[in-house]
A and B are shown apart, each in its own frame.
Chain A
Amino acid sequence: MPRLVRLAVLAAVLSVSTLLTACATVQPWQRGRLASPCMQFSPDGELAAFASHWQESREGAAGGNSLQGGGCGCK
């Protein structure tokens, strides 16, 4: 990846993260629906790990599910 693109990505992530921290605050008593398991980004670690494991054994792309283990020979 060219250095310029890398810097642009880094700048974008930092900018967005800075902007997001300035968003309106949702109070704890307003989080009823946010607490639903359906709103979780990784609702079940075991299911997600199994899915990413077999998908990565078929696809060249990987990542985006936080860090994974060391892979397997089926790859």
Chain B
Amino acid sequence: MAASKRSGLLIAAAVAAAGMGVALVVGRPVTAQQPAEESYGISMHAFTDSRGVTVLSPSGELSRDFTTRTGLRASFGVDAISAASDSCIRCHPDGAYNARAYVNASLFRKYGDTKVSVGGEFSREQFYTATTGSTSISRTLNQANTTIAGGYAFSLNQPVLHPSEDVARQYAHSAFGTVTQTLTKGTAVQLGYEVSRITGFQNNVFLRANVDGVRMLGNHPELRLRHSITAKLRQALPGRMYLEADFRRYQDDWQVRANTWSAGLSREVSPQLTIAGVYRRHEQTGASFYRPVYTGQPEFFTADFRIFPFDADLYTGRLNFTPKQGLMAFRQGTSLTLQYEYYRNTTKFQAATVTAALRVPLKH
């Protein structure tokens, strides 16, 4: 079984490499003009948390326009988990290596002020495979001061019921709509709504709930309807500073309710250097069937920490550097982003991530 999983990861990596290769070959431009956003990027994320879990995530992405109306966005990456995930470590305190490989791509085409895109994502890791197809459409109105967008995605998620080899199925349908509006020369807002309907197996096979003193696999409902409403503001301030403020209200029919807001300031120190700091606050209630300890014979019970009640804080610092003459051997216009994030929540969980990302224009 281990060999088949390794070969699965190899297949996923091969699909990712093939996807990028096809993108590079097919992406030969047929027009002389190259939009400035054409680029490729490489990133490295390092994650560590208070349980000793570490994750290294190298990734690559490509943004390529075939014509002035048609283009491709693709990315792939690997999450190399050195000490097992938070769930695994409960049974494997010495660590259990895992890795997740993913590849996604979307093609878009513009028809006047309307843009249509179609894409998909495939990811695979030990005990989990996810396949997603998505489509979206957007249109600019009012002399490009208004943009309306909508989209739909379908995901088939297939967890392996570890330690058995049985595979369960979960289906997720999601749809979203957004309106983005320029209000003044320095103010823009965006309102959005997203709904998801998830059916099928929704337990976490790695977590055990305490039911009458017995550790048991959780039992979640097989239907979940999720809603989120978002409001985002971007405001230019004097002194080359910018304010960002986001709010999200989330609720679902498992009675999880959450308010998440964030506020941040960024400053263009020079044409080459931008710094930013963001604070994010998340407060959520637990699912209706959540209990610290279960007694009797509850219909539903859970040990999934994601649907416990808790509050969380996230602090982000970011620096973006775009040297005039290019960076090292990379061409002019190359930018380097360095980011640090610190996360903590009231379940005594803490995590930190460090990111270094390089974005290189395909032509300058």
Contacts and interface: CB of A to CB of B under 8 A. Distances in A.
Interface of A: 1, 9, 13, 16-17, 20-21, 23-28, 30-34, 36-41, 44-47, 49-51, 54-55, 57-64, 66-75
Contacts of A55: 314, 343
Interface of B: 41, 43, 45, 47, 57, 59, 61, 73, 75, 79, 81, 85-87, 98, 100, 102, 104, 121, 123, 125-128, 130-132, 134, 136, 141-146, 148-149, 151-153, 155-157, 159, 172, 174, 176-186, 188-194, 196, 204, 225-230, 232, 234, 236, 242, 244, 248, 250-253, 256, 258, 260, 266, 268, 274, 276, 282, 284, 287, 304-308, 312, 314, 320, 337, 339, 341, 343, 345, 349, 351, 353, 355, 357, 359
Nearest to B135: A67
Nearest to B253: A1
A13 B176 CA distance: 12
Given A16-B191, A21-B181, A61 B145 contact: no
B179 A20 contact: yes
* Chain A interface, DSSP helix/strand/loop, else mixed: loop
Nearest to B290: A60
Nearest to B247: A64
A35 B184 CA distance: 13
Contacts of B153: 67-68
Contacts, number: 221
Contact of B145 (A26, A37, A44): A26
B228 A26 contact: no
Contacts of B258: 59-61
Contacts of B312: 58-59
Contacts of B251: 1
B85 A73 contact: yes
Contact of A69 (B152, B155, B192): B155
Contact of A67 (B130, B144, B176): B176
**Most B CB atoms within 10 A — which of A9, A27, A38, A40?**
A38
Given A1-B225, A38-B274, A61-B258, A73 B128 contact: yes
B306 A75 contact: yes
B302 to A, nearest CB: 10
A57 B189 CA distance: 28
A46 B126 contact: no
A48 B252 CA distance: 23
A61 B357 contact: no
B43 A47 contact: yes
* Chain B interface, DSSP helix/strand/loop, else mixed: strand
B49 to A, nearest CB: 9
A64 B259 CA distance: 12
Nearest to B316: A51
A46 B357 CA distance: 9
B85 A63 contact: no
A63 B306 contact: no
Contact of B41 (A46, A68, A70, A74): A46
Given A23-B183, A74-B86, A74-B87, A61 B176 contact: no
A66 B151 contact: yes
A47 B339 contact: yes
B43 A67 contact: no
A74 to B, nearest CB: 4
Contacts of A68: 153, 174
B116 to A, nearest CB: 14
B274 A37 contact: yes
A70 B61 contact: no
Contact of A61 (B204, B256, B337): B256
Contacts of A27: 143
**Most B CB atoms within 10 A — which of A20, A31, A57, A61?**
A61
A26 B204 CA distance: 50
Given A23-B182, A60-B307, A66-B192, 19 more contacts: A13-B179, A20-B183, A20-B189, A31-B182, A38-B274, A45-B75, A46-B61, A49-B75, A50-B355, A55-B314, A58-B345, A59-B258, A61-B250, A62-B196, A63-B227, A64-B192, A66-B149, A69-B130, A73-B85
